[in-house]
């Protein structure tokens, strides 16, 4: 997290991603601050271009996952923390 060069890279190119359609109340994504209609661009610096990419990377994830997300015209960074997930 906190890599401005990565954010600049996303701002300066046209990228694909995966749009968030629903946030479950009380979920890790809600606690991290993601919103409906955010577009997930990368998971742990791996680009997301399809649902298959998303599922594959999330199945390989550790306890903490770094996301780069596009919200409107902004590129944001989030960390999902699954450490205490039931």
| The pLDDT value given to residue 13 | 56
| The pLDDT value given to residue 14 | 58
Domain ranges of the chain: 4-81
2 vs 42, residue with greater confidence: 42
The 3-state secondary structure of 10-55, one letter per residue: HHCCCCCCEECCCCCCCCHHHHHCCCCCCEEEEECCEECCCHHHHH
Whether 9 has a pLDDT exceeding 70, the answer reads no
pTM (two decimals): 0.77
Q: What confidence tens digit (pLDDT) does each residue in 22-76 have?
A: 999 999 999 999 999 999 999 999 898 888 988 888 888 888 999 999 999 999 9
What is d(CA 24, CA 12) in angstroms, rounded to the nearest whole number? Answer: 32
Q: Give the pLDDT band (50/70/90) at residue 1.
A: very low
User: Which CATH superfamily groups domain 4-81?
Assistant: PDZ domain (2.30.42.10)
């Amino acid at each position: 997290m906190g890599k401005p060069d990565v954010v600049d890279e996303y701002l300066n190119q046209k990228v694909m991603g995966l749009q968030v359609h629903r946030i479950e109340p009380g979920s890790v994504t809600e606690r991290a601050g993601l919103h409906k209609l955010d577009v997930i661009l990368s998971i742990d610096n791996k680009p997301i271009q399809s649902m298959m990419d998303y599922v594959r990377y999330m199945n390989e994830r550790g306890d903490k996952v770094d996301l780069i997300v596009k919200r409107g015209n902004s590129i944001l960074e989030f960390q999902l923390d699954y450490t205490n997930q039931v």
